[in-house]
Amino acid sequence: MNYTEKGITALQEGNYEKAVEAFVKAVEEDPENAVGYINLGNIFASLGDSEKAEPFFQKAITLDEQSGTAFYGLANLYYNQERYGEAAKLYERAIRQGVNEADAYFMLGKSLERADNDKLALPYLQRASELSPNDLEIRLSYGILLAKMEIFSEAEKEFRFIIAEDENNADAHYNLGMLLAVSTDQKETALEHLEKAYTIEPDHVQARYIYDMIQMGDNN
């Protein structure tokens, strides 16, 4: 068993200190191999130590500019630091280097959305939902962005899909209720979904507020 394998085994056992020691030895043994630095970056990132993780990802990229996982790891750090523009560029690079998974497209889309570039974000969230159609978090984010861009019919399909899969998804009920309230005359149905949202999740203050506002409007 080499040091990388020992590090992975230690990680699986939850022994982070032993994992770091093994990955450091792997780097010392083969300092030109980007994998060792990526492993160290990933472990420090998982421990919430971005200051230690960042130089390892950067070193991996200097050693191997084709390493999609290094770009992806660094992108995650920047996203968590709210450096959305930088994160978006790195996620895009990771995808170009072969990280063609739903999460990569999802995170690229979320980065662009957080950077106030909704039009560019939309196709990436759509692609993420195509790659992982049963991931309700992805579908919800895609639906919310569709609604935000006033593509109401497509957004409604997303929210209804989520509710069909998870009847107790408060956020899907809330967003469907909001959509119906602003884009249709189906006020009663909108109220039903808003009520469902705060019934499932009593702390869903916004759902209760919008419900009360609609009720007040109807009574005036």
Domains of the chain, start order: 1-65 (1.25.40.10), 152-220 (1.25.40)
Distance (Å, rounded) from C-alpha 18 to C-alpha 43?
A: 11
Structure tokens at 140: 């919800």
What are the residue ranges of helices labelled H in the chain? 3-12, 16-29, 34-46, 50-63, 68-80, 84-96, 102-114, 118-131, 136-148, 152-165, 170-183, 187-200, 205-219
Does residue 132 register a pLDDT over 70? yes
Q: Can you give the pTM of this predicted structure?
A: 0.91
Does residue 217 register a pLDDT over 80? no
Distance (Å, rounded) from C-alpha 99 to C-alpha 62?
A: 18
Cβ-contact 180, 186 below 8 angstroms: yes
Structure tokens at 64: 């191997």
Does residue 211 register a pLDDT over 80? yes
Count of C-beta atoms within a 10 Å radius of residue 180 = 22
| pLDDT tens-place string over residues 91-124 | 999 999 999 999 999 999 999 999 999 999 999 9
Q: Across the chain, what does the average pLDDT equal?
A: 95
**pLDDT grade, residue 155 (50/70/90)?**
very high
